Structure 1
Amino acid sequence: MGREVRRVPLDFDWPLNKVWKGFLCPYRSAHCVACGGTGLNPATKQISDDFYGLAKPKRRWVNAITQDEVQALVDEDRLGAFTHTFVQGQYVKKDPPYVPTAREVNAWSRQGLGHDTVNQHILVRTRAKRLGVYGLCEVCTGEGELWPDDDTRKKAEAWEPEPPPPGVGWQLWETVSEGSPISPVFATSNELVDWLCANGYTRRGAVELCEVGSAPSGILKVYGTPKKPVNLNEN
């Protein structure tokens, strides 16, 4: 989501563009420096870092996976472009089952988006296990974060966000972050509509936003109702 309308008190004075305090958990963990937040031991982390090879391109292996690694992806149903076929509007698993070669998969990964982070995780684990080095970070035990104590962790797990107080006012909020107000508080929806129009919205889009309450970037989508999505830039 990108924008939403909230009903708040007319005297609600939380600073604009500042995340509402009730949306920020006060109980925090620290990033595990030892593993860079990956939760992996040094040898496994190196294999993971080398996958895309952003720091060391010569060590990149995203387009050079082996046949056992291909099999790991097939076992996790991650190579549908090879293992499935499109029949009557849906993807159906090939019969008999097909396992592509490493050469096929490596060629495929060079041509398009290739492997995502899920595939990366599977491939890194498979390669690290084959090399006998797979393991988790000994400092954070694989969590990628460190808590000051168990009590703080429990409080964080039990914590729930608290929305701003309800009221009769109308205000626009962004939801790209945890959530913060980005407009003044108005006494009526018409005033908010006028403000939205003065800030780039069409009147139709502004009215729809106030009626429905939320909108992603560029498109107003109504969740839970059959109403057709409305382009906010459409007159």
Structure 2
Amino acid sequence: MGREVRRVPVDFDWPLNKVWEGFLSPDRFDETPCPDCENGYSPQAQNLYDLWYGKIPFDPASTGSTPWRHDSPAVRAFAERNLSNAPDYYGTGESALRREAQRLADLFNAGWSHHLSQEDVDALVAGGRLYDFTHYVVPGKGWQPKDSVVTPTAAEVNEWSLRGMGHDSINAHVVIKARCEREGVEDTCSTCKGHASLEKYEGQRAEAEAWEPIDPPTGDGWQLWETVSEGSPVSPVFVTADDLAGWMSAPERGDRWVPGDVARKFIDDGWAPTGVLTPGRGYQSGVEAVGWDN
């Protein structure tokens, strides 16, 4: 996601910063919300979903887990990071650290996601999740399975969930589905079959799946587009690439200004990410990054 150059007609007049209509799925594909569920889950699975995210009261003992405390090493480490990153907000010193650690412990104890049982962990491993435990990264090859995989314990996974990104929505779905299977209940809504919506007419969903976006018309003009959203123009249309580069490097663009040679290199490349973060340079826009010497 970032910026790209598009060749459009010189008289192309689509509004700036407005997503191109051809990139948006037509309203006729909007289905009717399911009257019996929120997100495609059965009532039993919805209850588990709410427990996972702490939307309803949760007791760690229900999964055989031990509640987190303010002095649990993983919780204290999390609190220390918060104080280090924002001392003006969290305060400093042992009292501030204990206060923040207690807040975090209460937060982590409120949801199932930080208190999995061993059966939950087994389901994640069987579902090809928890790569941090079952795989390792090989430069140039990505994630590779370990020669000898040992299923992590629930305690290990629960502590891991407090670090980094933790569990995502896929992990939640895998664990909820597995528990429903163990308890002999359906995990999907019987009304919508898990879609969370109903077709307004027969074949609507198939039409939506077959729909493909339509690019804007092509032409001789040069225009800068953002790709952070579905895609919209962010510059006027120019007759030449040099004109677009001149606009990008104009001083009046303020903090969005880039040197002319960098702008031209970006145009030649045709695309740049939103931004790039490196230890040596810090954060810089993607357009600036394309001008770096390799």
Q: TM-score, normalised by structure 2?
A: 0.67
Runs of 4+ aligned structure 1 residues displaced above 4 Å come to: 54-59, 84-92, 232-235
Deviation by residue 1:61-99 (Cα, 9 ceiling, x = unmatched): 11111111111112123233333467899744243x412
Report the secondary structure of 1:6's partner residue. Answer: strand
**Structure 1: any 5+ residue segments left out of the alignment?**
220-228
Matched, 1:42 2:99: no
Partner Cα distance (1:55, 1:205) in 2? 53
Partner Cα distance (2:138, 2:239) in 1? 55
Question: Residues 90-129 of structure 1 correspond to what in structure 2 (within 5 A)?
Answer: 91-95=144-148, 97-129=149-181
Aligned twin of 2:261: 204
Aligned twin of 1:155: 207
Aligned twin of 1:222: none
C-alpha contact (below 8 Å) 1:83/1:94 kept by paired residues: no
Specify which of 167, 189, 193 is matched with residue 241 of structure 2. Answer: 189
Partner Cα distance (2:138, 2:11) in 1? 59
Partner Cα distance (1:111, 1:216) in 2? 27
Q: Please say which of residues 189-198 and 85-94 is displaced more in the overlay.
A: 85-94
Report the secondary structure of 1:163's partner residue. Answer: coil
- Counting matched residue pairs gives 224
C-alpha contact (below 8 Å) 1:193/1:206 kept by paired residues: yes
Partner Cα distance (2:10, 2:236) in 1? 10
Structure 1 vs Structure 2: percent identity of aligned residues?
45
Q: CA deviation at 1:233?
A: 7.4
Specify which of 105, 113, 131 is matched with residue 62 of structure 1. Answer: 113
C-alpha contact (below 8 Å) 2:265/2:291 kept by paired residues: no
Q: TM-score, normalised by structure 1?
A: 0.82
C-alpha contact (below 8 Å) 1:218/1:232 kept by paired residues: no
Higher helix share: 2
Q: CA deviation at 1:138?
A: 2.3
Structural RMSD (CA): 2.7
Change (3 A) 1:11 1:163: same
Report the secondary structure of 1:171's partner residue. Answer: strand
Partner Cα distance (2:24, 2:177) in 1? 34
